[in-house]
């Protein structure tokens, strides 16, 4: 593409055409500001060529920047390649433009050429090149650029140091990032944000929050990084708490902050709070980007309001493959397997190509409603019709589908034939299926594998214990519980949560730390007693807080 555009730009026909072109707008900067499509870019370039403005590095930089913004980087790079005497400013512009595209490797090559051409990289060169490093995850190259910065004495510049922190964090080398941050003589809000986001990115939400609390100045990016960090490590309650503080301090969230908050709501199933955020988005008039709508669909579905999820979906003007996949998965989650399959048919009619995650949703939908033949057809057509190689997650869905439907022999055969070692999820599906259909031999076999893979997962032991109990084999039940005690496996207490007045309250069995625990237990006692009197709980369960497995 780049070579063909270069030939076009240098051809006599192209030059002859644009020397005849008479532009309507005499001001180049105004022309560039009004460009919105490739035709505009092409005509503006002709305006520059006819007046020799393409030889002005400053004006050419503006042109390339506009190409980058509009997504025509092929054209912009081709124009740059014809420039015989670029200066450092033009080099910085093209490196920055290429750094976050598929031409990131070219950005690194151009950065190296700066020094070959006798220029000295400046405080704009290093951050742009380091963005390319992040895009490529090229940690070795990033270290070399860090060395260049040290040799030029620019490693202490706040912008360069911040870019280095972002690079080390993105490559997972958080200790080096923190060492750079601690050694900075001056830190602006961007450098603080880079360090907070870096900790959040590697899953260290607590360190991110500690840094956040120390920040002398915060902006919306600071708050968003902490909210996203907590949501990422499945600590949604803390994420929502930070979001609430953000409101109290009158910090107006952007789309990215809303995405993080909605993700936390989805984890918690906090419908009231999610609806409030939805209304808040409309109130602020935030641009309804596709990922934001996707997050709303996911939140409503996981919070139990599939109708609202469908409403958001149907009102969307633009939908991505993630949108369709989220909708299929949401319908499957609610046991609406046939509706999920109908949604997938709509997706195909819209000519949206499904991806690997889409098929996990489809196979899950088939599993929920027991459509074994349909599931097998989709599983086999993944490779033949869609050229998608099934992964272990797809095999896991098929094992679950076969196991739930009672095809235990076929499920075991699939596990033997698949090109992967079965993981805990697959053995867990077999263990659950053995409980449903009373296959003790399969249950014991599955548990042996699970103990190796997940030695401290009490749920696996509980499932096998329940199989023995259902068959009246109480000695084996005692042996399972003894094995748990001998291996130090502790049963995780049951928990629940309720949402009230836009707040989510968590409860754990046996926990008395709540300041109103006495009143809570009194209500539980009364409820438990009434259930016993009505015959819903066996009379022999004399304890007011005992739960039947």
Does pLDDT of 74 surpass 80?
Answer: yes
- Domain annotation covers residue 6: no
Q: What DSSP designation does 297 have?
A: H
For residues 304 and 249, membership in a common domain is answered with yes
pLDDT score, position 377: 94
Compute CA distances 155 → 138, 420, 427, 428, 453, whole Å.
Answer: 19, 47, 52, 52, 46
For residues 221 and 273, membership in a common domain is answered with yes
pLDDT score, position 116: 86
Tokens 């840094």, located at residue = 211
- Domain annotation covers residue 235: yes
User: For 5-9, 406-410, 545-549, which range has the lowest pLDDT when averaged over its residues?
Assistant: 545-549
CB 243 within 8 A of CB 264: yes
Q: Please state, in angstroms and rounded to a whole number, the distance separating the CA atoms of residues 474 and 481.
A: 11
Give the CA dihedral 418, 419, 422, 425, nearest 10 degrees.
-80
> Which residues lie below 8 Å from residue 549, measured CB to CB, with a gap of 6+?
462, 465, 466, 469
Mean pLDDT, range 252-270, rounded to an integer: 85
pLDDT band at 544 (very low <50, low <70, confident <90, very high): very low
- Domain annotation covers residue 409: yes
Does pLDDT of 357 surpass 90?
Answer: yes
For residues 239 and 327, membership in a common domain is answered with no
Q: How does DSSP assign 482-504, residue by residue?
A: HHHHHTTPPPPPPEEEEEETTEE
Top pLDDT among 221 and 479 is at: 221
Top pLDDT among 534 and 178 is at: 178
Q: Please state, in angstroms and rounded to a whole number, the distance separating the CA atoms of residues 70 and 52.
A: 23
pLDDT score, position 7: 53
User: Element (H or E) spanning 508, and its range?
Assistant: strand 503-508
- Domain annotation covers residue 359: yes
Top pLDDT among 528 and 227 is at: 227
Owning domain of residue 474: 391-493
Express as a percent the part of the chain with pLDDT over 90: 39
Top pLDDT among 31 and 306 is at: 306
- Domain annotation covers residue 48: no
- pLDDT tens readout for residues 78-93: 888 888 888 999 999 9
pLDDT score, position 9: 46
pLDDT score, position 14: 43
For residues 330 and 410, membership in a common domain is answered with no
- Domain annotation covers residue 179: no
Does pLDDT of 548 surpass 60?
Answer: no
Q: Please, is 52 exposed, middle or buried when counting C-beta atoms within 10 Å of its C-beta (0-12, 13-18, 19+)?
A: exposed
CB 65 within 8 A of CB 37: no
pLDDT score, position 57: 84
For residues 373 and 325, membership in a common domain is answered with yes
For residues 305 and 344, membership in a common domain is answered with no
CB 34 within 8 A of CB 64: no
- pLDDT tens readout for residues 386-411: 889 999 999 999 999 999 998 999 99
**Count of structural domains within the chain:** 3
The closest of 267, 256, 176, 262 to 223, measured between CA atoms, is 256
For residues 474 and 417, membership in a common domain is answered with yes
- pLDDT tens readout for residues 498-524: 655 556 666 666 666 667 777 877 887
pLDDT band at 547 (very low <50, low <70, confident <90, very high): very low
The CATH number of residue 439's host domain is: 1.25.40
Q: What DSSP designation does 250 have?
A: T
Q: Which of 451, 474, 493 is a domain's end point? A: 493
- pLDDT tens readout for residues 469-506: 776 778 777 877 777 776 666 666 655 666 555 566 66
Average pLDDT of the residues of the chain = 83
Q: Which of 285, 310, 335 is a domain's end point? A: 310
Q: Please state, in angstroms and rounded to a whole number, the distance separating the CA atoms of residues 408 and 398.
A: 11
For residues 230 and 300, membership in a common domain is answered with yes
For residues 402 and 484, membership in a common domain is answered with yes
Q: Which of 493, 525, 542 is a domain's end point? A: 493
């Amino acid at each position: 593409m780049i070579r063909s555009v270069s030939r076009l730009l240098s051809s006599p026909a192209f030059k002859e055409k644009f020397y005849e072109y008479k532009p309507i707008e005499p001001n180049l900067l105004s022309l560039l500001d009004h460009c919105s499509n490739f035709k505009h870019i092409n005509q503006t370039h002709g305006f520059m060529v006819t007046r020799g403005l393409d030889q002005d590095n400053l004006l050419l930089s503006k042109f390339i920047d506009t190409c980058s913004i509009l997504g025509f980087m092929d054209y912009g790079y081709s124009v740059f390649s014809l420039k015989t005497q670029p200066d450092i400013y033009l080099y910085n512009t093209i490196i920055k433009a290429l750094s976050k595209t598929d031409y990131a490797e070219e950005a690194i090559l151009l950065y190296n050429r700066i020094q070959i051409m006798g220029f000295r990289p400046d405080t704009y060169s290093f951050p742009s090149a380091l963005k390319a490093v992040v895009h490529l995850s090229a940690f070795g190259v990033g270290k070399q650029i860090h060395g260049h910065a040290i040799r030029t004495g620019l490693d202490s510049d706040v912008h360069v140091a911040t870019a280095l922190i972002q690079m080390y964090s993105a490559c997972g080398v958080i200790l080096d990032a923190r060492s750079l941050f601690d050694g900075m003589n001056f830190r602006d809000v961007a450098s603080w944000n880079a360090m907070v986001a870096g900790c959040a990115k590697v899953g260290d939400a607590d360190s991110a929050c500690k840094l956040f609390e120390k920040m002398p100045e915060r902006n919306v990016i600071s708050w968003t990084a902490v909210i996203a960090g907590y949501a990422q490590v499945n600590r949604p309650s803390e994420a929502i708490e930070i979001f609430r503080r953000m409101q109290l301090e009158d910090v107006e969230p952007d789309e990215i902050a809303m995405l993080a908050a909605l993700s936390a709501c989805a984890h918690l199933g906090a419908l009231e709070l999610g609806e409030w955020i939805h209304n808040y988005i409309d109130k602020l008039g935030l641009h309804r980007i596709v990922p934001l709508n996707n997050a709303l669909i996911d939140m409503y579905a996981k919070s139990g309001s599939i109708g609202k999820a469908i409403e958001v979906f149907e009102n969307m003007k633009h939908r991505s493959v993630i949108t369709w996949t989220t909708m299929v998965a949401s319908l499957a989650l609610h046991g609406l397997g046939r509706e999920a399959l109908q949604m997938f048919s709509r997706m195909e009619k819209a000519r949206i190509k499904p991806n690997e995650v889409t098929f996990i949703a489809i196979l899950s939908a088939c599993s929920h409603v027991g459509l074994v033949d349909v599931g097998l057809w989709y599983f086999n057509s993944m490779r033949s019709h869609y050229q998608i190689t099934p992964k272990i997650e797809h095999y896991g869905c098929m094992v679950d589908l076969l196991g739930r439907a009672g095809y235990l022999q076929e499920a075991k055969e699939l596990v033997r034939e698949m090109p992967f070692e079965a993981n805990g999820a697959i053995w867990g599906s077999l263990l659950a299926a053995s409980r449903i259909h009373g296959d003790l031999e399969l249950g014991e076999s599955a548990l042996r594998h699970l103990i190796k893979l997940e030695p401290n997962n009490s749920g696996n032991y509980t499932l096998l214990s329940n199989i023995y109990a259902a068959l009246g084999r109480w000695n084996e039940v005692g042996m399972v519980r003894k094995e748990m005690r001998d291996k130090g496996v502790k049963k995780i207490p049951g928990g629940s949560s309720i949402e009230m007045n836009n707040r989510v309250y968590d409860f754990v069995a046996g926990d008395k730390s709540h300041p109103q625990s006495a009143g809570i237990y009194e209500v539980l006692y009364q409820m438990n007693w009434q259930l016993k009197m009505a015959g819903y709980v066996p009379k022999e369960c004399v304890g007011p807080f005992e739960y039947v497995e």
